């Protein structure tokens, strides 16, 4: 019995609790639609893998993965929230704010130009 307990599970599967989940790379605040959408996608995958379900935890984790210009932007939004000028208390609200701030306004025009060239 003891020998079986030390063997790998049938089929070579590793229990999820033993899998090292990579942390998402920080978003630095570049006005790059691809970089922003990758950051959002990576965080959503991380939330699923780590079973992060509360909105507060999602916002906190996302905030901790901001750097450079994005971190400075968040700092000013945090002050706005403390002073009652805005509310960012859900992951969807944070995504809207991030896209509003960092999504290039001309992203559709640039994509069309790329397709036509």
Per domain, the residue ranges of the chain are 31-116
Distance CA 101, CA 82 (A): 19
> Between these two residues, 74 and 19, which has the higher pLDDT value?
74
Angle, alpha carbons 110-34-28 (nearest 5°):
120
43-89 pLDDT per residue, tens: 999 999 999 999 999 999 999 999 999 999 999 999 999 999 999 99
Could you tell me the pTM of the whole model? 0.74
pLDDT value, residue 116: 74
**What is the DSSP annotation of 60-108?**
HHHHHTB-HHHHHHHHHHHHHHHTTS----SHHHHHHHHHHHHS-TTHH
Q: Is the pLDDT of residue 36 over 90?
A: yes
């Amino acid at each position: 019995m003891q020998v079986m307990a030390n063997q790998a599970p049938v089929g070579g599967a590793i229990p999820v609790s033993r899998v090292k989940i990579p942390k998402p790379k920080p978003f630095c605040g570049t006005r790059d639609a691809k970089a922003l959408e990758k950051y959002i996608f990576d965080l959503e995958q991380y939330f699923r893998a780590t079973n992060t379900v509360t909105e507060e935890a999602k916002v906190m984790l996302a905030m901790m993965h901001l750097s450079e210009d994005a971190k400075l932007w968040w700092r000013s939004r945090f002050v706005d929230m403390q002073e009652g000028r805005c509310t960012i208390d859900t992951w969807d609200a944070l995504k809207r704010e991030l896209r509003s701030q960092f999504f290039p306004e001309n992203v559709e025009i640039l994509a069309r130009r790329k397709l036509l060239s």
